[in-house]
Amino acid sequence: PRVTIVGAGRVGSTLAQRIAEKNLADVVLLDIIAGMPQGLALDLVEARGIELHNRQIIGTNNYADTSGSQIVVITAGIPRKTGMSRDDLLKTNAKIVVEAATNAIAHSPNAIFIVVTNPLDVMTYLAWQATGLPRTRIMGMAGVLDSARFETFIALELGVLPADVKAMVLGSHGDLMVPLSRYATVNGIPITELLDAATIARLVERTRNGGAEIVELMQTGGAFFAPASATSVMVESILLNQSRLLPVAAYLQGEYGLEDVVIGVPCRLGCGGIESVLELNLTDEEREALDTSAQSVRKNIERAHE
Ligand code: NAI
């Protein structure tokens, strides 16, 4: 199989490395900057003998080279700078994502699309509109990353192995995300049995600010290692038809009482893309938080169209 990554920046190039070194697929890295994706691809190819895989990695500035991809990941855009909100990125990235999606679908009409560019939920919606794809074949990455951050903070707090912590974060990617604390467990034991409410609230808050915390520290852009890992898990579940249940930004048609909006919900990911959306019974508080999240995404979809 072949995966195209549009945007060979920090997230895109790290994702290319993850996909090739996990031996999941051949990779085409596309960027507007001349020579840059070609150089990165050559660098990754030169590591193959050491990393012991034989995947093809191509760098290009031309969409014709992406043809026949099973998956297209869009990471093209500008990232957040210190003090910038994800919504500040709205107009610039909207143009870039629509252009990328339109060009990519023309050469890979059967591909499944994963959008990574922020503001995530809005960009996924715009890419869905631009491609005309059925909603099963287009989605956004955010929930897997936000959940991994929540799990990390729980693991750090309890001093347990991160892989033993399971949590799910729904809603939009940003301040209005909806971490489902009552479902978070350490090997099946609810964290509500292990931590007091104030501590859980503090970890939830840190999760909400997880992206900003890294932007503050780095000063020169945002996170990319964990975002690339999170995206590679989605790519893997699709390519290997694993049917993993992951929080994914999906176009909703009535689920959770929401319609014509993209937001993070639990989805089964397999070779057809989103195989199903799982509807959880939410508490009133969680449902309200999801509604607020959806309203803000809708508002930004409108702003993007202005
Ligand atoms: P970056 O600046 O390192 O890379 C972006 C790349 O896109 C650059 O190489 C740039 O040349 C390229 N690009 C710009 N316009 C293009 C176009 N029209 N066609 C093709 N390529 C184009 O940024 P980074 O750190 O890789 O982040 C990428 C995006 O992903 C940002 O919008 C960022 O906010 C978002 N992001 C989303 C996350 C999520 O959880 N959904 C997590 C981390 C980042």
What pLDDT, on the 0 to 100 scale, is given for residue 83? Answer: 75
Residue 55 alpha carbon to ligand 1 centre in Å? 24
Atom of ligand 1 minimally distant from the CA of 223: 43
Tell me whether residue 173 is one of the annotated catalytic residues.
yes
Per-residue pLDDT, 86: 65
Nearest CA to 119 out of 148, 82, 78, 83 is that of: 78
CA of 31 to the centre of ligand 1 (A): 10
* ipTM associated with this complex: 0.99
Q: How far apart are CA 74 and CA 245, in angstroms?
A: 22
Q: How many angstroms separate the CA atoms of 82 and 57, rounded? A: 33
DSSP letter for each residue of the chain: -EEEEE--SHHHHHHHHHHHHTT--EEEEE-SSTTHHHHHHHHHHHTHHHHT----EEEES-GGGGTT-SEEEE--S--PPTT--GGGGHHHHHHHHHHHHHHHHHH-TT-EEEE-SSSHHHHHHHHHHHHT--GGGEEE--HHHHHHHHHHHHHHHHT--GGGEE--EEB-SSTT-EE-GGG-EETTEEGGGTS-HHHHHHHHHHHHTHHHHHHHHHSSS---HHHHHHHHHHHHHHHTT--EEEEEEEEEESGGG-EEEEEEEEEEEETTEEEEE------HHHHHHHHHHHHHHHHHHHHHH-
Q: Which residue in the list 53, 107, 173, 305 is annotated as catalytic? A: 173
Round to whole Å and give the CA distance between 250 and 304. 18
5, 6, 10, 11: residue to mutate for ligand 1 pocket, most atoms within 8 A of CB: 11
Residue list, ligand 1 pocket, CB within 6 Å = 6-12, 31-33, 75-77, 79-80, 89, 93, 96, 99-100, 116-118, 120, 141-142, 145, 173, 221-224, 227
Ligand 1 mean position, distance from CA 11 (Å): 7
Mean pLDDT for back-to-back runs of 10 residues, the chain (306 residues): 98 98 98 98 98 97 98 92 75 96 98 97 98 98 98 98 98 93 97 98 97 92 96 98 98 97 98 98 95 96 92
Nearest CA to ligand 1 atom 16: 76
Q: What is the pLDDT of residue 187?
A: 98
Question: What is the predicted pLDDT for the residue at 276?
Answer: 98
Single-letter residue type at 160: V
pLDDT confidence of residue 220: 84
Ligand 1 centre to CA of 78 (Å) is 5
Instruction: Count the Cβ atoms, other than its own, within 10 Å of residue 46.
Output: 10
Q: What are phi and psi for residue 276, nearest 5 degrees? A: -165, 155
CA of 124 to the centre of ligand 1 (A): 14
Using the atom order of ligand 1, give the atom closest to the CA of residue 36.
9
**What phi and psi, each to the nearest 5 degrees, are found at residue 237?**
-65, -35
